[in-house]
Amino acid sequence: MSSARDSILNAVRARTPAPGVHGDIGKAAAALIATPSRYQPQFDQQGNLERFIAKATSERVTASIGRVATVEAVPAEVARYLKDCRLAPSLALQPREELTGLNWTGLETHPGIAADEPAALTIADLAIAETGSVVLRSGPDAPVLMNFLPLHHIVVLHEELIHRHLEDVFGLLGDGPAEQPRNLCIVTGTSGTADIEAVNVRGAHGPRFMHVVIVDKP
């Protein structure tokens, strides 16, 4: 409806001060966020890994952490986790070569995801120390539903991908539309709700449990 478009934009122009030159608007916008350290939560005493673990395992975020020295050790850690949770040795596996190429002997793995999938394993593209969040991008080898349908979401995270603040992650993702994945999701722990009497409960629609397997820096 182009007439609505024109009427809205004309009404906006009539009521806002004379617009600046585009470049000036951009400069003014950049100046507003020129010193993010003023409003970013500071945690000088903690390194990125330490902060990430502290936040991810906090009462509010409720993830658990596993540590492995190399990516080859991931299947054993996943098997241990499933056993500790009394789950069957079966796993939906994100179709990425880094995961499918590992030795999964003893565990049944499958590429699809069922509506009531007990557990799925995916790779984190980035992570944020500030909040204990992992960043997951969609793509041919990264179905979005794999992060939301399972009851247990297990995530492999390479330690060197943990960045300090939210802004650092966005900086890496670029600011042009072409560089964005279709779906970019910052996941901070498990699905929760406080919709009944403001009481926090886990496992609303998405995963009730999150286990982050951190692979040490090479």
Partner 1 sequence: MKQSPHLFKENAKRALSDPTLKTALRRTTGLLRRRRAQVIADYPEYAAAREAAEKIKDHTLENLAHYLEMFEANALGSGAQVHWAATPDQATDIVVDICKAEGARTATRVKSMLGEEIGLPEALARAGVKRIETDLAEHIIQLADDPPSHIVMPAMHKTHEQVAELFRAKHADPAATDHIAALVESARRELRQKFLDADIGISGANFLIADTGSVVAITNEGDAELTTTPPKTHIVTVGIEKIVPSMAHATVFLRLLARAAIGAEITQYTTFFNGPKRQGDADGPENMHIVLVDNHRTEMLGGFLQPMLRCIRCGACMNHCPVYSAVGGHAYGAVYPGPMGSVLTPVMSSLQEAGDLPNACTLNGRCQEVCPVNIPLPDMLRSLRVRQFDRKLTPGMARIALKLWGWLAARPRLYRLGAGAGVLALRLWARGRGRIRRVPHAAGWTRHRDLPAPEKGTFMQQYARKKRR
Query: DSSP of 4-48, one letter per residue?
Result: HHHHHHHHHHHHSPPP--HHHHHHHHHHHTS-GGGTSPP-TTS-H
Distances (CA, A) of 152 to 11, 14, 111, 211, 214: 50, 53, 16, 8, 16
Our CB check for partner 1 shows the closer of 28 and 69 to be 28
45-53, 73-81, 155-163, 199-207 -> range binding partner 1 (CB under 8 A): 199-207
Q: Quick check: 193 binds partner 1 (CB under 8 A)?
A: yes
Rounded (10°) CA dihedral 125, 128, 132, 138: -30
Q: Quick check: 178 binds partner 1 (CB under 8 A)?
A: yes
Q: Quick check: 88 binds partner 1 (CB under 8 A)?
A: no
Q: Quick check: 218 binds partner 1 (CB under 8 A)?
A: no
Which of 56, 143, 161, 215 contacts partner 1 by CB under 8 A? 143
| Secondary structure element (H or E) that encloses residue 81, with its range | helix 74-84
Our CB check for partner 1 shows the closer of 121 and 215 to be 121
Using DSSP, state whether 75 is helix, strand or coil.
helix
Which of 65, 67, 76, 167 contacts partner 1 by CB under 8 A? 167
**Cβ atoms of residues 104 and 134 within 8 Å:** no
Q: Quick check: 177 binds partner 1 (CB under 8 A)?
A: yes
Q: Quick check: 145 binds partner 1 (CB under 8 A)?
A: yes
Q: Quick check: 4 binds partner 1 (CB under 8 A)?
A: yes
Q: Quick check: 122 binds partner 1 (CB under 8 A)?
A: no
Q: Quick check: 198 binds partner 1 (CB under 8 A)?
A: yes
Q: Quick check: 41 binds partner 1 (CB under 8 A)?
A: yes
Our CB check for partner 1 shows the closer of 6 and 72 to be 6
Question: Whole-number minimum distance, CB 180 to partner 1, in Å?
Answer: 4
Which of 32, 70, 86, 162 contacts partner 1 by CB under 8 A? 32
Distances (CA, A) of 54 to 57, 94, 158, 160, 165: 6, 27, 17, 17, 15
| Maximum C-alpha span of the chain | 69
Size of the site for partner 1 (CB under 8 A): 81
Question: Whole-number minimum distance, CB 192 to partner 1, in Å?
Answer: 5
Residues 47-86 touching partner 1, rule: CB under 8 A, are: 55, 60
Distances (CA, A) of 205 to 115, 151, 202: 11, 9, 9
Pairing of strands 209-215, 152-158: parallel
